[in-house]
Amino acid sequence: MDEIDNRILRELQKDGRIPNNVLAEKVGLSPSPCLRRVKQLEESGAIDRYVAIINPVTLGLNLSIFVRIWLDSQGEETVEHFCREIRLLPEVVECHLMVGDCDFLLRVVAADLNAYRQFQIKHLARIKGVQSMKTELPMQTIKHTTELPIR
**Beta-carbon-side half-sphere exposure of residue 137 (alpha carbons within 13 Å):** 8
DSSP-derived letter for residue 85 is H
Q: Give pLDDT tens digits for 93-146.
A: 999 999 999 999 999 999 999 999 999 999 999 999 999 999 999 999 999 999
Looking at beta carbons, which pairs linking 5-10 to residues 24 or more positions away fall under 8 Å?
5/37, 5/41, 5/46, 6/150, 6/151, 8/34, 8/37, 8/38, 8/41, 9/41, 9/46, 9/47, 9/150, 10/147, 10/150
Q: How far apart are CA 133 and CA 118, in angstroms?
A: 14
Single-letter amino acid, residue 74: Q
pTM beyond 0.85: the answer is yes
Tell me which H or E stretch contains 122: helix 113-122
Predicted pLDDT of residue 18: 98
With 0-12 CB in 10 A as exposed, 13-18 as middle and 19+ as buried, what is 77? exposed
Per residue in 43-72, pLDDT (tens digit) is: 999 999 999 999 999 999 999 999 999 999
Strands 130-136 and 104-110 come out as: unpaired
- DSSP one-letter code for 30: -
